[in-house]
Amino acid sequence: MTLQVGVIGTNYLGAAHAAGMAEFGHTVIGVDIDADRVKTLNSGQSHIFEMGLEPLLERHTASGRLRFTTDYSEIADWADVHFLALGTPSGPGGAADLSQLNAAVDTLAPLLNKPALVVGKSTVPVGTAMQLERRLRAASPAGEGIEVAWNPEFLREAHAVEDTLAPDRLVFGTHSQQALELLEEIYSIPLTEATPVVRCDIATAELIKVAANAFLATKISFINAMARMCQAAGGDVSLLADAIGYDKRIGREFLNAGLGFGGGCLPKDIAALAVRAEELGVDVLTDFIRSVEAINEGQRTELAELAIDQAGGDVHGKRIAVLGAAFKPGTDDTRNSPALTVADYLHARGADVHVYDPQARLPQRHGFTQVTTVEQAVRGAEVVLHLTEWPEFRQLDPEQLGELVASRIIIDGRLKLHASTWLNAGWKVVQIGRAGTL
Protein backbone atom coordinates (compact mmCIF):
# COMPACT_ATOMS: atom_id res chain seq x y z
CA MET A 1 0.00 0.00 0.00
CA THR A 2 1.27 3.46 -0.91
CA LEU A 3 1.51 5.82 2.03
CA GLN A 4 2.19 9.54 2.31
CA VAL A 5 5.45 10.08 4.14
CA GLY A 6 6.98 13.26 5.49
CA VAL A 7 10.72 13.34 6.21
CA ILE A 8 11.97 16.27 8.29
CA GLY A 9 15.66 16.93 7.77
CA THR A 10 17.42 16.13 4.50
CA ASN A 11 21.13 15.82 5.19
CA TYR A 12 22.93 12.42 5.10
CA LEU A 13 20.23 10.51 6.95
CA GLY A 14 17.14 12.36 5.72
CA ALA A 15 18.05 12.50 2.04
CA ALA A 16 18.77 8.76 1.92
CA HIS A 17 15.63 7.94 3.92
CA ALA A 18 13.37 10.11 1.75
CA ALA A 19 14.77 8.59 -1.45
CA GLY A 20 14.45 5.10 0.03
CA MET A 21 10.83 5.62 1.04
CA ALA A 22 10.06 6.72 -2.53
CA GLU A 23 11.84 3.62 -3.86
CA PHE A 24 9.57 1.54 -1.61
CA GLY A 25 6.61 3.04 -3.49
CA HIS A 26 5.48 5.73 -1.06
CA THR A 27 4.80 9.37 -1.90
CA VAL A 28 7.35 11.45 -0.02
CA ILE A 29 7.87 15.10 0.87
CA GLY A 30 11.14 16.06 2.50
CA VAL A 31 11.28 19.22 4.60
CA ASP A 32 14.36 21.30 5.36
CA ILE A 33 14.98 24.88 6.45
CA ASP A 34 17.91 25.15 4.01
CA ALA A 35 16.36 26.60 0.83
CA ASP A 36 19.48 25.97 -1.27
CA ARG A 37 19.53 22.32 -0.23
CA VAL A 38 15.84 21.96 -1.08
CA LYS A 39 16.41 23.50 -4.50
CA THR A 40 19.30 21.12 -5.20
CA LEU A 41 17.31 18.06 -4.14
CA ASN A 42 14.25 19.08 -6.17
CA SER A 43 16.49 19.22 -9.24
CA GLY A 44 17.31 15.55 -8.70
CA GLN A 45 20.83 16.27 -7.53
CA SER A 46 22.51 15.48 -4.23
CA HIS A 47 24.22 18.04 -2.01
CA ILE A 48 26.45 15.29 -0.58
CA PHE A 49 28.60 12.56 -2.09
CA GLU A 50 26.81 9.32 -1.29
CA MET A 51 27.01 6.35 -3.65
CA GLY A 52 23.72 5.53 -5.37
CA LEU A 53 21.78 8.47 -3.93
CA GLU A 54 21.64 10.73 -6.97
CA PRO A 55 20.07 8.13 -9.32
CA LEU A 56 17.23 7.62 -6.80
CA LEU A 57 16.73 11.36 -6.46
CA GLU A 58 16.67 11.81 -10.24
CA ARG A 59 14.20 8.98 -10.77
CA HIS A 60 11.72 9.85 -8.06
CA THR A 61 11.73 13.65 -8.36
CA ALA A 62 11.10 13.19 -12.09
CA SER A 63 8.19 10.81 -11.43
CA GLY A 64 6.62 13.19 -8.89
CA ARG A 65 6.83 10.61 -6.12
CA LEU A 66 9.45 12.64 -4.26
CA ARG A 67 9.77 16.36 -3.67
CA PHE A 68 11.21 18.73 -1.12
CA THR A 69 10.00 21.90 0.55
CA THR A 70 10.82 24.40 3.28
CA ASP A 71 7.15 24.62 4.32
CA TYR A 72 6.08 22.34 7.20
CA SER A 73 2.41 23.03 6.47
CA GLU A 74 2.70 20.95 3.30
CA ILE A 75 3.19 17.78 5.32
CA ALA A 76 1.40 18.50 8.62
CA ASP A 77 -2.01 17.04 7.86
CA TRP A 78 -0.99 15.41 4.57
CA ALA A 79 1.44 12.75 5.77
CA ASP A 80 0.42 9.41 7.26
CA VAL A 81 3.69 9.43 9.20
CA HIS A 82 6.34 12.04 9.96
CA PHE A 83 9.97 10.89 10.20
CA LEU A 84 12.43 13.00 12.19
CA ALA A 85 15.84 12.71 10.53
CA LEU A 86 17.74 15.57 12.10
CA GLY A 87 21.26 15.86 13.40
CA THR A 88 22.10 15.49 17.09
CA PRO A 89 25.66 16.81 17.24
CA SER A 90 27.76 16.98 20.36
CA GLY A 91 26.96 19.87 22.65
CA PRO A 92 28.92 21.22 25.61
CA GLY A 93 30.56 18.42 27.57
CA GLY A 94 29.67 15.82 24.95
CA ALA A 95 25.91 15.73 25.63
CA ALA A 96 23.72 15.40 22.55
CA ASP A 97 22.51 18.73 21.18
CA LEU A 98 18.79 18.21 20.59
CA SER A 99 18.10 21.74 19.37
CA GLN A 100 17.38 20.68 15.78
CA LEU A 101 14.91 18.02 16.93
CA ASN A 102 13.21 20.40 19.34
CA ALA A 103 12.96 23.15 16.72
CA ALA A 104 11.40 20.76 14.20
CA VAL A 105 8.89 19.49 16.75
CA ASP A 106 8.02 23.04 17.83
CA THR A 107 7.38 24.01 14.20
CA LEU A 108 5.38 20.90 13.34
CA ALA A 109 3.24 20.59 16.47
CA PRO A 110 0.91 23.62 16.03
CA LEU A 111 0.14 22.46 12.48
CA LEU A 112 -1.05 18.96 13.48
CA ASN A 113 -4.83 19.15 13.53
CA LYS A 114 -5.47 15.41 13.42
CA PRO A 115 -3.93 12.33 15.07
CA ALA A 116 -0.45 11.60 13.74
CA LEU A 117 2.50 9.28 14.20
CA VAL A 118 5.87 10.97 14.53
CA VAL A 119 8.80 8.57 14.17
CA GLY A 120 12.31 9.41 15.25
CA LYS A 121 15.27 8.11 13.28
CA SER A 122 17.92 10.32 14.88
CA THR A 123 20.35 8.93 17.45
CA VAL A 124 19.31 10.33 20.83
CA PRO A 125 19.85 9.82 24.55
CA VAL A 126 17.40 7.39 26.13
CA GLY A 127 14.29 9.25 27.31
CA THR A 128 14.26 11.73 24.42
CA ALA A 129 11.29 10.20 22.59
CA MET A 130 8.93 10.57 25.52
CA GLN A 131 10.07 14.16 26.05
CA LEU A 132 9.30 14.89 22.40
CA GLU A 133 5.90 13.24 22.67
CA ARG A 134 4.99 15.44 25.63
CA ARG A 135 6.25 18.48 23.74
CA LEU A 136 4.19 17.60 20.66
CA ARG A 137 1.01 16.88 22.57
CA ALA A 138 1.25 20.10 24.56
CA ALA A 139 1.54 22.27 21.45
CA SER A 140 -0.62 20.38 18.94
CA PRO A 141 -4.37 20.88 18.36
CA ALA A 142 -4.57 17.08 18.08
CA GLY A 143 -3.25 16.74 21.65
CA GLU A 144 -3.27 13.15 22.88
CA GLY A 145 -3.79 11.99 19.30
CA ILE A 146 -0.09 12.51 18.62
CA GLU A 147 2.11 9.47 19.20
CA VAL A 148 5.88 9.13 18.99
CA ALA A 149 7.70 5.95 17.97
CA TRP A 150 11.39 5.28 17.42
CA ASN A 151 12.92 3.59 14.39
CA PRO A 152 16.69 4.12 14.69
CA GLU A 153 18.87 4.18 11.61
CA PHE A 154 21.92 1.96 11.11
CA LEU A 155 23.29 3.59 7.99
CA ARG A 156 26.95 3.49 7.07
CA GLU A 157 28.15 6.55 5.22
CA ALA A 158 29.11 5.56 1.68
CA HIS A 159 26.52 2.76 1.94
CA ALA A 160 23.47 4.74 3.10
CA VAL A 161 21.30 3.88 0.10
CA GLU A 162 22.18 0.19 0.28
CA ASP A 163 21.46 0.12 4.01
CA THR A 164 18.14 1.93 3.53
CA LEU A 165 16.87 -0.35 0.79
CA ALA A 166 18.26 -3.61 2.23
CA PRO A 167 18.66 -3.09 5.99
CA ASP A 168 20.39 -5.78 8.03
CA ARG A 169 17.72 -5.28 10.70
CA LEU A 170 14.79 -3.05 11.59
CA VAL A 171 13.98 -1.79 15.06
CA PHE A 172 10.45 -0.63 15.88
CA GLY A 173 10.11 1.05 19.25
CA THR A 174 6.43 1.72 19.90
CA HIS A 175 3.87 1.84 22.68
CA SER A 176 0.75 1.02 20.64
CA GLN A 177 -0.26 -1.70 18.22
CA GLN A 178 -1.49 0.91 15.76
CA ALA A 179 1.94 2.53 15.54
CA LEU A 180 3.63 -0.85 15.12
CA GLU A 181 1.28 -1.84 12.29
CA LEU A 182 1.88 1.44 10.48
CA LEU A 183 5.66 0.97 10.64
CA GLU A 184 5.29 -2.58 9.36
CA GLU A 185 3.23 -1.25 6.46
CA ILE A 186 5.84 1.39 5.61
CA TYR A 187 8.60 -1.22 5.57
CA SER A 188 6.53 -3.94 3.92
CA ILE A 189 9.08 -4.49 1.12
CA PRO A 190 12.12 -5.28 3.29
CA LEU A 191 9.85 -7.25 5.63
CA THR A 192 8.80 -9.53 2.77
CA GLU A 193 12.51 -10.21 2.23
CA ALA A 194 12.86 -11.68 5.74
CA THR A 195 14.70 -8.71 7.23
CA PRO A 196 15.15 -9.35 10.97
CA VAL A 197 12.87 -7.14 13.09
CA VAL A 198 13.14 -6.16 16.73
CA ARG A 199 9.80 -5.00 18.13
CA CYS A 200 10.35 -3.33 21.46
CA ASP A 201 9.55 -0.49 23.81
CA ILE A 202 10.79 2.97 22.92
CA ALA A 203 13.56 3.18 25.54
CA THR A 204 15.10 -0.04 24.25
CA ALA A 205 14.92 1.26 20.67
CA GLU A 206 16.79 4.42 21.68
CA LEU A 207 19.46 2.40 23.48
CA ILE A 208 19.94 -0.15 20.69
CA LYS A 209 21.50 2.41 18.34
CA VAL A 210 23.92 3.92 20.84
CA ALA A 211 24.84 0.47 22.13
CA ALA A 212 25.64 -0.68 18.59
CA ASN A 213 27.87 2.33 17.97
CA ALA A 214 29.57 1.97 21.34
CA PHE A 215 30.37 -1.68 20.64
CA LEU A 216 31.80 -0.90 17.20
CA ALA A 217 33.91 1.88 18.68
CA THR A 218 35.11 -0.52 21.36
CA LYS A 219 36.29 -3.05 18.77
CA ILE A 220 38.25 -0.35 16.96
CA SER A 221 39.89 0.98 20.11
CA PHE A 222 40.67 -2.56 21.29
CA ILE A 223 42.52 -3.45 18.11
CA ASN A 224 44.39 -0.15 18.20
CA ALA A 225 45.48 -0.89 21.78
CA MET A 226 46.69 -4.27 20.55
CA ALA A 227 48.48 -2.50 17.68
CA ARG A 228 50.58 -0.63 20.22
CA MET A 229 51.27 -3.92 21.98
CA CYS A 230 52.38 -5.46 18.69
CA GLN A 231 54.72 -2.57 17.99
CA ALA A 232 56.26 -2.90 21.44
CA ALA A 233 56.56 -6.68 21.33
CA GLY A 234 57.50 -7.17 17.69
CA GLY A 235 54.17 -8.54 16.50
CA ASP A 236 51.91 -7.93 13.50
CA VAL A 237 48.47 -6.55 14.35
CA SER A 238 46.93 -7.48 10.99
CA LEU A 239 47.73 -11.16 11.45
CA LEU A 240 46.51 -10.94 15.04
CA ALA A 241 43.20 -9.43 13.87
CA ASP A 242 42.79 -12.11 11.21
CA ALA A 243 43.36 -14.85 13.76
CA ILE A 244 40.93 -13.62 16.39
CA GLY A 245 38.44 -12.62 13.70
CA TYR A 246 37.97 -16.27 12.73
CA ASP A 247 36.26 -16.72 16.08
CA LYS A 248 32.56 -16.29 15.28
CA ARG A 249 32.01 -14.76 18.69
CA ILE A 250 34.39 -11.94 17.74
CA GLY A 251 34.22 -11.48 13.96
CA ARG A 252 36.75 -9.71 11.74
CA GLU A 253 34.83 -6.51 10.97
CA PHE A 254 35.91 -3.33 12.78
CA LEU A 255 39.23 -4.94 13.76
CA ASN A 256 41.31 -2.88 11.35
CA ALA A 257 44.08 -1.12 13.23
CA GLY A 258 45.04 2.38 12.21
CA LEU A 259 43.94 5.91 12.94
CA GLY A 260 40.69 4.87 14.60
CA PHE A 261 37.15 6.04 14.10
CA GLY A 262 35.80 9.45 13.18
CA GLY A 263 32.89 10.95 11.28
CA GLY A 264 29.62 12.44 12.39
CA CYS A 265 28.22 9.43 14.25
CA LEU A 266 30.47 7.23 16.40
CA PRO A 267 32.40 9.96 18.24
CA LYS A 268 29.40 12.08 19.16
CA ASP A 269 27.12 9.12 19.87
CA ILE A 270 29.44 7.43 22.35
CA ALA A 271 30.20 10.78 23.99
CA ALA A 272 26.47 11.35 24.47
CA LEU A 273 26.08 7.81 25.84
CA ALA A 274 28.79 8.47 28.41
CA VAL A 275 27.07 11.68 29.51
CA ARG A 276 23.65 10.03 29.74
CA ALA A 277 25.10 7.08 31.70
CA GLU A 278 26.64 9.55 34.12
CA GLU A 279 23.29 11.32 34.52
CA LEU A 280 21.66 7.98 35.34
CA GLY A 281 24.41 7.00 37.76
CA VAL A 282 25.83 4.19 35.61
CA ASP A 283 29.44 5.21 36.24
CA VAL A 284 30.94 1.93 35.08
CA LEU A 285 29.64 2.58 31.54
CA THR A 286 30.83 6.18 31.60
CA ASP A 287 34.34 5.10 32.62
CA PHE A 288 34.39 2.37 29.98
CA ILE A 289 33.38 4.72 27.16
CA ARG A 290 35.93 7.33 28.26
CA SER A 291 38.70 4.73 27.89
CA VAL A 292 37.49 3.87 24.38
CA GLU A 293 37.57 7.57 23.49
CA ALA A 294 41.04 8.05 24.98
CA ILE A 295 42.54 5.20 22.93
CA ASN A 296 40.93 6.56 19.78
CA GLU A 297 42.21 10.09 20.29
CA GLY A 298 45.62 8.77 21.24
CA GLN A 299 46.01 7.01 17.88
CA ARG A 300 45.95 10.33 16.07
CA THR A 301 48.61 11.86 18.28
CA GLU A 302 50.68 8.67 18.01
CA LEU A 303 50.73 8.84 14.23
CA ALA A 304 51.45 12.57 14.12
CA GLU A 305 54.41 12.07 16.47
CA LEU A 306 55.56 9.17 14.31
CA ALA A 307 55.60 11.52 11.32
CA ILE A 308 57.65 14.06 13.26
CA ASP A 309 60.10 11.36 14.24
CA GLN A 310 60.45 10.18 10.63
CA ALA A 311 61.05 13.78 9.56
CA GLY A 312 64.06 13.94 11.86
CA GLY A 313 62.39 15.13 15.03
CA ASP A 314 61.17 18.49 13.72
CA VAL A 315 58.67 19.26 10.96
CA HIS A 316 58.94 23.05 11.09
CA GLY A 317 59.20 24.31 7.52
CA LYS A 318 59.16 20.78 6.11
CA ARG A 319 56.64 19.65 3.53
CA ILE A 320 54.33 16.80 4.59
CA ALA A 321 51.92 15.11 2.16
CA VAL A 322 48.62 13.80 3.49
CA LEU A 323 46.68 11.36 1.32
CA GLY A 324 43.07 11.46 2.46
CA ALA A 325 40.88 14.01 4.23
CA ALA A 326 37.49 12.29 4.51
CA PHE A 327 37.01 10.27 7.68
CA LYS A 328 36.51 7.14 5.55
CA PRO A 329 36.53 6.23 1.85
CA GLY A 330 33.34 6.56 -0.19
CA THR A 331 32.23 9.84 1.37
CA ASP A 332 33.12 13.53 1.29
CA ASP A 333 32.44 13.88 5.02
CA THR A 334 35.32 15.42 6.98
CA ARG A 335 33.56 15.66 10.34
CA ASN A 336 35.91 14.50 13.09
CA SER A 337 38.27 13.18 10.45
CA PRO A 338 41.34 11.45 11.94
CA ALA A 339 43.32 12.49 8.86
CA LEU A 340 42.58 16.16 9.41
CA THR A 341 43.38 15.89 13.13
CA VAL A 342 46.84 14.62 12.19
CA ALA A 343 47.22 17.31 9.54
CA ASP A 344 46.18 19.99 12.06
CA TYR A 345 48.68 18.65 14.59
CA LEU A 346 51.56 18.82 12.12
CA HIS A 347 50.52 22.22 10.77
CA ALA A 348 50.45 23.60 14.31
CA ARG A 349 54.08 22.51 14.63
CA GLY A 350 55.12 24.44 11.56
CA ALA A 351 54.83 21.81 8.84
CA ASP A 352 53.90 22.80 5.30
CA VAL A 353 51.02 20.35 4.94
CA HIS A 354 49.53 19.52 1.54
CA VAL A 355 46.38 17.38 1.47
CA TYR A 356 44.75 15.46 -1.34
CA ASP A 357 41.38 13.67 -1.24
CA PRO A 358 39.30 12.41 -4.20
CA GLN A 359 36.02 13.82 -2.85
CA ALA A 360 36.34 15.81 0.36
CA ARG A 361 36.72 19.57 0.40
CA LEU A 362 38.46 21.01 3.42
CA PRO A 363 36.75 23.33 5.89
CA GLN A 364 37.96 26.90 5.56
CA ARG A 365 39.38 26.91 9.10
CA HIS A 366 42.33 24.72 8.12
CA GLY A 367 45.60 26.49 7.45
CA PHE A 368 47.15 23.86 5.21
CA THR A 369 46.90 23.50 1.45
CA GLN A 370 44.44 21.29 -0.41
CA VAL A 371 45.60 20.15 -3.84
CA THR A 372 43.82 18.40 -6.69
CA THR A 373 46.21 15.54 -7.44
CA VAL A 374 48.38 13.09 -5.55
CA GLU A 375 51.39 14.32 -7.50
CA GLN A 376 50.85 17.89 -6.29
CA ALA A 377 50.56 16.66 -2.71
CA VAL A 378 53.78 14.64 -2.65
CA ARG A 379 56.05 16.92 -4.69
CA GLY A 380 58.95 17.86 -2.41
CA ALA A 381 57.52 16.02 0.60
CA GLU A 382 59.77 14.83 3.40
CA VAL A 383 57.14 12.33 4.59
CA VAL A 384 53.98 10.99 2.92
CA LEU A 385 51.06 9.97 5.13
CA HIS A 386 48.39 7.53 3.93
CA LEU A 387 45.43 8.38 6.17
CA THR A 388 42.19 7.54 4.32
CA GLU A 389 42.01 4.17 2.56
CA TRP A 390 40.64 5.26 -0.83
CA PRO A 391 41.08 2.41 -3.35
CA GLU A 392 43.01 4.65 -5.73
CA PHE A 393 45.83 5.00 -3.21
CA ARG A 394 46.46 1.26 -3.40
CA GLN A 395 47.01 1.64 -7.15
CA LEU A 396 49.67 4.35 -6.90
CA ASP A 397 53.02 3.80 -8.61
CA PRO A 398 55.63 4.21 -5.85
CA GLU A 399 58.45 4.41 -8.39
CA GLN A 400 56.79 7.34 -10.15
CA LEU A 401 55.99 9.11 -6.89
CA GLY A 402 59.51 8.51 -5.66
CA GLU A 403 60.80 10.84 -8.37
CA LEU A 404 58.72 13.68 -6.90
CA VAL A 405 59.38 13.48 -3.15
CA ALA A 406 62.31 14.85 -1.16
CA SER A 407 62.51 11.64 0.90
CA ARG A 408 61.02 8.24 0.15
CA ILE A 409 59.27 7.77 3.48
CA ILE A 410 55.63 6.75 3.71
CA ILE A 411 53.57 6.09 6.84
CA ASP A 412 50.66 3.75 6.18
CA GLY A 413 48.13 4.82 8.78
CA ARG A 414 45.49 2.40 7.49
CA LEU A 415 47.56 -0.74 6.77
CA LYS A 416 46.12 -0.95 3.26
CA LEU A 417 49.15 -0.39 1.03
CA HIS A 418 51.16 -3.21 -0.53
CA ALA A 419 54.31 -2.67 1.51
CA SER A 420 56.51 -4.91 -0.64
CA THR A 421 55.76 -2.84 -3.76
CA TRP A 422 56.85 0.34 -2.00
CA LEU A 423 59.92 -1.31 -0.50
CA ASN A 424 61.02 -2.54 -3.91
CA ALA A 425 60.80 1.05 -5.14
CA GLY A 426 63.22 2.17 -2.45
CA TRP A 427 60.73 3.55 0.06
CA LYS A 428 60.93 3.32 3.83
CA VAL A 429 57.51 2.03 4.93
CA VAL A 430 56.21 2.63 8.44
CA GLN A 431 52.99 0.86 9.46
CA ILE A 432 50.90 1.15 12.60
CA GLY A 433 50.82 -2.08 14.59
CA ARG A 434 53.96 -3.57 13.07
CA ALA A 435 57.25 -3.38 14.86
CA GLY A 436 59.91 -1.03 13.51
CA THR A 437 59.97 0.00 9.87
CA LEU A 438 60.21 -1.88 6.58
Cα dihedral 298, 287, 99, 68 sign? positive
Q: Which residues contact 46 (CB under 8 A, 6 or more apart)?
A: 15, 40, 53, 54, 57
Q: Report whether 3 contacts 186 (CB < 8 A).
A: yes
Q: Which residues contact 279 (CB under 8 A, 6 or more apart)?
A: none
- Does residue 200 carry a catalytic annotation? no
Catalytic residue selected from 265, 271, 311, 387:
265
Catalytically annotated residues: 265
